[in-house]
């Protein structure tokens, strides 16, 4: 029995039964666990930064109808994962579940997809925060450097990553406090933005403008908003707005070893963060759409929300709205950094990552410091293409940002699919935890799997006609590099598995036997 421990808590016994000692500081409440997923989903981030994906690939109607429809499917995915985390509340989360249910190979690929997805989400949120911080400073200060600068935005992006890493390294308890504050900032901030956009603009769009108007700003099919190409190629891309915003809720699983009563708290943290974000996000997006004064100018501006705000209000109100969103995105960045570093810690603890000794090492504050640093560095590297200026139809469009968004969606949702599939396959033999679906997994799992496959394919689509090789105006800077990066990574993982990993990797390594601690 470890020195200083007279009796193990239920959480420690459960963790020991899964093969792990309590290394991380279990100081998070169930609310804090919900808070980190709610913060990573962050409707103040995704609804603002990826709004252009919805507008350019479908317009107001695609956003107004697409958000609630896609949200229902995401909730089904979340409920399926809640059952899994209740049974297996470990920091490895999705990777651990896949290994336990499907074997070492399933766990290996799942872990890498999860890690890639989390780091891509960290990169996209931090870059979005940098963009909005730059816009906010420009709104409040006339002395701020005139004009948009890719270099300046990238420097701010790096500073945000550094600050986020420092906060994460400092204290686990501080992170819990920050995430608790973040929840209330997101609730109060979103409510304030909604009220401002209802009360301040003198004119609002009609119901027809919001629920029936369509847009094709991609350059594909001559800008048509009808026909087979529009319906099956352009319009589906608008779903990535919802799919990207409502993601990262697996953080509740990754922080389960730091959560009290994790078998219940972490499970509820997943589905509640999805449900509340889906409702709040839809209301927020509708206020954006009703605030549009001139839809053609929004389209010419690349579908940026800042164009909508500038049309509807004077600079003072625009600055307030941007400030609220930017602060929410900074909270979100910090939470994303926490989640990605914990996943790297857990995956390295099982020796599945090169240099695992470094990434699984914890500091005296029980923080995986090296893991925090390396995830921030990789996030910066995969966002380097954002330094290249890209204009589509005369408007600046962040193709590199959209690509990082898509990488996050593909990586995370594909890794979610693996344990959901194996849980479905296990049927009644699955050892359900305190929180479970009571048999509803029979229909929820296949629904979740179909949705994941479809949206992962959509995330590989090019977002501009100039990004496909057969277009006369083709240039590499317009390419959605998601399929290239994901494809190369999968090939490397395949080679690495057959050349080396399969000879020694057996999945999660038991640090302890439950009997040793009890």
The tens place of each residue's pLDDT in the chain, 518 residues long, gives: 444 445 667 777 877 877 677 777 777 788 888 888 888 898 999 999 899 999 999 999 999 999 999 999 999 999 999 999 999 888 767 888 999 899 999 999 999 998 999 899 999 999 999 999 998 988 887 777 666 678 888 999 999 999 999 999 886 677 778 878 888 999 999 999 999 999 999 999 999 999 999 999 998 998 999 999 999 999 999 999 999 999 989 888 878 888 888 888 899 999 999 999 999 999 999 999 999 999 999 999 889 999 999 999 998 999 999 999 999 999 999 989 988 998 898 888 888 888 888 888 887 777 888 999 999 999 999 898 888 877 666 556 677 788 888 888 999 899 999 999 999 999 999 999 899 999 999 999 999 999 999 999 999 998 888 889 988 888 888 888 889 888 898 999 999 999 988 988 888 877 665 445 44
Rounded CA separation 73/179 (Å): 26
Rounded CA separation 155/494 (Å): 35
Q: What's the chain's average pLDDT?
A: 88
Cα–Cα nearest to 260, from 56, 466, 60, 10? 10
Residues 404 and 120 sit within 8 Å (Cβ to Cβ): yes
Rounded CA separation 480/461 (Å): 7
Which DSSP category does 232 fall into?
Answer: I
Q: What is the dihedral of CA 504, 508, 510, 514, to 10 degrees?
A: -150
Instruction: Please spell the DSSP secondary structure of 327-346, one letter per residue.
Output: HHHHHHHHHHHHHHHHHHHH
What pLDDT score does 241 carry?
95
Give the Cβ contact number of residue 173 at 10 Å.
Answer: 14
Q: Is 17 helix (H, G, I), strand (E, B) or coil?
A: helix
Cα–Cα nearest to 81, from 228, 246, 283? 246
Residues 415 and 95 sit within 8 Å (Cβ to Cβ): yes
Cα–Cα nearest to 46, from 239, 261, 265, 318? 239
Q: Is 405 helix (H, G, I), strand (E, B) or coil?
A: helix
Q: What is 28-505's CATH number?
A: 1.20.1740.10
What pLDDT score does 282 carry?
97
* H-helix segments, 291-314: 295-300, 305-312
What pLDDT score does 5 carry?
47
Question: pTM (2 decimals)?
Answer: 0.88
Rounded CA separation 73/328 (Å): 25
Which DSSP category does 28 fall into?
Answer: B
* H-helix segments, 365-481: 369-382, 399-426, 441-458
**Distances, alpha carbon 306 to alpha carbons 84, 289, 393, 412, in Å:** 40, 12, 18, 29
What pLDDT score does 511 carry?
63
Residues 82 and 316 sit within 8 Å (Cβ to Cβ): no
Classify burial at 501, counting beta carbons within 10 Å of its beta carbon; exposed 0-12, middle 13-18, buried 19 or more: middle
Cα–Cα nearest to 121, from 383, 323, 353? 383
Residues 392 and 478 sit within 8 Å (Cβ to Cβ): yes
Rounded CA separation 236/65 (Å): 12
Token readout for 514 is 């439950």
Rounded CA separation 237/215 (Å): 12
* H-helix segments, 42-59: 43-49, 51-56
Return the HEC string of 454-503. Answer: HHHHHCCCCCCHHHCCCCCCCCHHHCCCHHHHHHHHHHHHHHHHHHHHHH
What pLDDT score does 514 carry?
46
Cα–Cα nearest to 406, from 120, 24, 106, 38? 120
All structural domains of the chain with their residue ranges: 28-505
Residues 196 and 34 sit within 8 Å (Cβ to Cβ): no
Rounded CA separation 27/172 (Å): 8
What pLDDT score does 3 carry?
46
């Amino acid at each position: 029995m470890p020195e200083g421990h007279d009796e193990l808590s239920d959480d420690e016994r459960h963790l020991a039964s899964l093969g792990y000692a309590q290394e991380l500081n279990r100081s998070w409440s169930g609310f804090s666990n919900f808070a980190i997923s709610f913060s990573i989903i962050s409707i103040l981030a995704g609804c603002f930064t990826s709004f252009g994906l919805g507008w350019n690939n479908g317009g107001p109607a695609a956003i107004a109808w697409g958000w609630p429809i896609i949200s229902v499917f995401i909730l089904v995915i979340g409920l399926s994962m809640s059952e899994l985390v209740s049974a297996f509340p470990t920091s490895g989360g999705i990777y651990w579940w896949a290994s336990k249910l499907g074997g070492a190979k399933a766990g290996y690929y799942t872990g890498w997809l999860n890690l890639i997805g989390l780091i891509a989400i960290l990169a996209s949120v931090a870059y979005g925060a940098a963009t909005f911080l730059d816009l906010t400073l420009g709104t409040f200060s006339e002395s701020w450097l005139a004009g948009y600068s890719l270099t300046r935005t990238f420097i701010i992006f790096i500073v945000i990553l550094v600050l986020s890493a420092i906060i994460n390294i400092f204290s686990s308890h501080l992170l819990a406090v920050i995430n608790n504050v973040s929840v209330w900032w997101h609730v109060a901030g979103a409510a304030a933005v909604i009220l401002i956009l209802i009360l301040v603009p003198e004119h609002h769009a009609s119901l027809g403008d919001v629920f029936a108007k369509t847009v094709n700003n991609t350059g594909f099919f001559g800008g048509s908003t009808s026909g087979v190409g529009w319906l099956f190629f352009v319009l589906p891309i608008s779903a990535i707005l919802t799919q990207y915003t409502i993601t990262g809720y697996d953080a509740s699983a990754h922080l389960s070893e730091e959560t009290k009563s994790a078998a219940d708290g972490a499970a509820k943290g997943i589905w509640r963060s999805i449900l509340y974000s889906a409702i709040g996000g839809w209301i927020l997006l509708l206020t954006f759409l009703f605030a549009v004064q001139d839809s053609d100018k929004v389209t010419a501006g690349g579908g940026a929300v800042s164009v909508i705000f500038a049309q509807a209000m004077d600079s003072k109100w625009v600055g307030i709205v941007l400030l609220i969103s930017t602060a929410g995105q900074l909270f979100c960045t910090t939470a994303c950094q926490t989640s990605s570093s914990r996943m790297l810690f857990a995956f390295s603890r099982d020796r599945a990552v090169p240099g695992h000794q470094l990434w699984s090492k914890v500091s005296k504050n029980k923080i995986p410091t090296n893991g925090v640093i390396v995830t921030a560095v990789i996030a910066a590297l995969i966002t380097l293409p954002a330094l290249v200026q890209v204009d589509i139809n005369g408007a600046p469009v962040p193709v590199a940002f959209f690509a990082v968004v898509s990488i996050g969606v593909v990586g995370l949702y594909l890794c979610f699919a693996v344990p959901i599939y194996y849980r479905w396959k296990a049927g009644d033999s699955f050892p359900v935890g305190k929180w479970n679906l009571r048999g509803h997994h029979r229909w929820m799992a296949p629904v979740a799997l179909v949705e994941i496959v479809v949206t992962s394919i959509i995330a590989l689509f090019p977002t501009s006609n100039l990004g496909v090789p057969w277009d006369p105006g083709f240039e590499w800077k317009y390419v959605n590099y998601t399929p290239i990066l994901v494809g190369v990574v999968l090939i490397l993982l395949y080679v690495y598995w057959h050349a080396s990993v399969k000879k020694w990797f057996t999945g999660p390594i038991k640090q302890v036997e439950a009997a040793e601690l009890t």
